[in-house]
Amino acid sequence: MSSTVYDFSATSIEGQPIEMSTYRDKVLLIVNTASQCGYTPQYKGLQELQDKYASKEFAVLGFPCNQFGQQEPGSAQDIQSFCETRYGVSFPLFQKVDVNGASAHPLFKYLEKAAPGILGTEAIEWNFTKFLVDGSGKVVKRYGSNTDPKDIAKDIEALLG
């Protein structure tokens, strides 16, 4: 089994392969996102975290997902345009992925095992589940969909030192 998030790669929203090791030494907040979800306004809070901490080796990584209520039906271009226009998102977005089941992206399979949810369940329950990763690539904590991004700031600051 992989030991850090750096062992994985993903495809950027623009279609470029990205090694997660690109983010080595950064604190990361990895989030499965959706454009038509009740939690979609969290994009604003995620961008605020990105803006506040980017200069301190921090990044939000957004992974659109259509597995929950088909709330991310658009193309990569649709998703990128929506996020930039509606919420001013400048943090990295990736191609749409599955986060649960046999077709789940390997990064999310790893995240789920490294930080199980309530009662030890590994499956992600809904959009905007967040995983905080330290600068060595280890998963530190999992936050549910209803956790407001601003409520994660103290945990981010603790990792940033």
Q: What is the set of active-site residues?
A: 37
CA 78 – CA 35 distance, rounded (Å): 9
Residue 17 burial (CB count, 10 A): 8
Q: Which residues contact 13 (CB under 8 A, 6 or more apart)?
A: 64, 76, 79, 80, 92, 93, 94, 95
Residue among 61, 159, 42, 76 nearest 111 (CA): 61
According to DSSP, the residues that pair with 12 across neighbouring strands are 94
